[in-house]
């Protein structure tokens, strides 16, 4: 009897456990099915989202320059390395490194005492020989009438004449020696040969300097007003540059780096007479007044050569033009849906793009396409610019004809005029 009770109890436990497992499996399967249905419904809802809100802008005509962008290097129009022209001890430096200097300004002084002594010595020698020359001339003048009357022999008179001429030559040589001594004395003061800005000093006062071209210069002066900018331009633009330059002054705008506003401008002054065969470029130079010293010798800059100004160019902002596999394009709206319009870009100037083909004046295109916009997408106007110049679109918030504020929950309309559920 006891064994029978134990068997019945075990069978009951097995039945309860089996029923619980069956119920758990059924509940799990039902939950998974509901989750899949919910996920599928959500996916369908995401793919079936509403119209895309866009803004339109009209293609307009305006004057735009025809340009050539290039990279340039700033260089001094005139650079001078200052070197001593006489030997001596550098007595003083009369400027600070980096100072601007004027032409004729005294920069260095060399100990002039040896040169002063040479000048005095040459002056004394000249005075001595001039006195001897005067005596010789007087002697020759006294002997001339005696020789004419044969009171003295001709040879005696010729000796006196020769001595006078020799002393005359000696005086001339002494005069040249004095001039040389004075010139050397002038070299004791070193002046700026050009106006410009000084560089770093290579020798300080108290050092012995020697004349000659060997060794480092005392200082280098670079002229900075005006200054030159050398550009490397692809050879395919050579004919256009020569043609524009021949018609008058060719303006060149200078920027510190690409895609930044110009800080100064100059004029083209030089086209090289040969093309660099290795790079396929030709060097041209522009002269810039550089009154405020915006440019510095050795600086790399971005330059823009303005060949001409095209009146009535078709222009769109950069945000309206998109890249595609078949080239750049814009979105246009037709029957309430977005369509792709391929275009040909002529050039870009800052954030403005000049279109040569694909659009016409007044054509409205999507100004700033959202990522969800694609060809065939249904759209709602969120604003437009161009023809009317007003910012509000048909479906956007704004004032109506009666001047009242539109209700925020009003039904929007797509560009075809059909109502769209919010």
Reported as a single tens digit per residue, the pLDDT across 260-280 is 889 999 999 999 999 999 999
Q: Does domain 52-63+312-420 have CATH number 2.40.420.20?
A: yes
Examine the pLDDT at 389 and tell me if it is beyond 60: no
Place of tokens 């797509």: 414
Q: CA 415 to CA 382: how far, in whole Å?
A: 10
pLDDT at 14 (0 to 100): 53
What are the pLDDT digits (tens) for 1-41?
Answer: 444 455 555 555 555 555 555 555 555 444 444 444 443 33
What are the pLDDT digits (tens) for 230-262?
Answer: 999 999 999 999 999 988 889 999 999 988 889
Among the ranges given (22-31, 337-346, 363-372), the one the predictor scored with the smallest mean pLDDT? 22-31
Instruction: Give, in words, the CATH class of 67-77+222-310.
Output: mainly beta
pLDDT at 191 (0 to 100): 97
The DSSP bridge partners found for residue 419 are 413
Q: Give the predicted TM-score (pTM) of the model.
A: 0.64
What are 266-270's contacts with CB under 8 Å, separation 24+? 266/226, 266/229, 268/241, 268/305, 269/228
**Cis status of the peptide bond prior to 226, with omega within 30 of 0:** yes
Examine the pLDDT at 42 and tell me if it is beyond 80: no
Instruction: Give, in words, the CATH class of 112-187.
Output: mainly alpha
Which CATH code fits 87-110+188-206?
2.40.50.100
Q: Domain boundaries in the chain?
A: 52-63+312-420, 67-77+222-310, 87-110+188-206, 112-187
Rounded mean pLDDT, 62-69: 92
Among the ranges given (31-35, 196-200, 245-249, 332-336), the one the predictor scored with the smallest mean pLDDT? 31-35
Q: CA 83 to CA 220: how far, in whole Å?
A: 9
Mean pLDDT, rounded, of the chain:
83
CB atoms within 10 A of CB 187: 16
Determine the length of the chain.
Answer: 422
């Amino acid at each position: 009897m006891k064994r029978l009770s134990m068997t019945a109890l075990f069978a009951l436990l097995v039945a309860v456990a089996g029923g619980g497992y069956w119920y758990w499996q059924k509940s799990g399967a039902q939950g998974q099915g509901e989750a899949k249905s919910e996920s599928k419904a959500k996916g369908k809802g995401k793919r079936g989202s509403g119209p895309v809100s866009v803004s339109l802008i009209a293609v307009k005509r305006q004057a735009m320059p025809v340009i050539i962008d290039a990279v340039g290097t700033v260089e001094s129009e005139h650079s001078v390395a200052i070197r001593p022209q006489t030997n001596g001890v550098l007595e003083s430096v009369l400027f600070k490194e980096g100072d601007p200097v004027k032409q004729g300004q005294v920069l260095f002084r060399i100990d002039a005492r040896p040169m002063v002594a040479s000048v005095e010595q040459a002056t004394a020698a000249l005075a001595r020989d001039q006195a001897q020359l005067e005596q010789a001339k007087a002697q020759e003048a006294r002997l001339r009438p005696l020789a004419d009357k044969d009171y003295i022999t001709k040879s005696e008179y010729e000796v006196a004449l020769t001595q006078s001429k020799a002393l005359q030559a000696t005086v001339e040589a002494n005069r040249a020696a004095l001039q040389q001594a004075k010139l050397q004395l002038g070299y004791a003061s070193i002046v700026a040969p050009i106006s410009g800005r000084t560089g770093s000093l290579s020798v300080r006062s108290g050092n012995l300097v020697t004349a000659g071209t060997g060794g480092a210069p005392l200082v280098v002066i670079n002229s900075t007003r005006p200054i030159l900018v050398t550009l490397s331009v692809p050879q395919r633009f050579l004919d256009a540059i020569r043609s524009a330059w021949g018609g008058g002054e060719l303006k060149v705008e200078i920027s510190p780096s690409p895609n930044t506003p110009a800080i100064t401008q100059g004029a083209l002054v030089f086209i090289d007479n040969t093309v660099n065969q290795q790079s396929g470029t030709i060097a041209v130079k522009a002269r810039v007044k550089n009154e405020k010293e915006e440019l510095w010798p050795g600086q790399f800059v971005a330059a823009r050569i303005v060949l001409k100004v095209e009146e009535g160019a078709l222009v769109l902002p950069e945000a309206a033009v998109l890249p595609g596999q078949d080239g750049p394009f814009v979105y246009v709206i037709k029957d309430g849906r977005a369509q792709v319009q391929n275009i040909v870009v002529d050039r870009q100037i800052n954030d403005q793009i000049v279109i040569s083909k694909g659009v016409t004046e007044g054509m409205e295109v999507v100004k700033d396409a959202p990522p969800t916009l694609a060809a065939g997408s249904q759209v709602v106007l969120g604003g437009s610019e161009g023809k009317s110049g007003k910012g509000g679109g048909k479906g956007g918030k704004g004032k109506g004809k009666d001047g009242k504020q539109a209700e925020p929950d009003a039904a929007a309309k797509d560009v075809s005029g059909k109502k769209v559920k919010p």
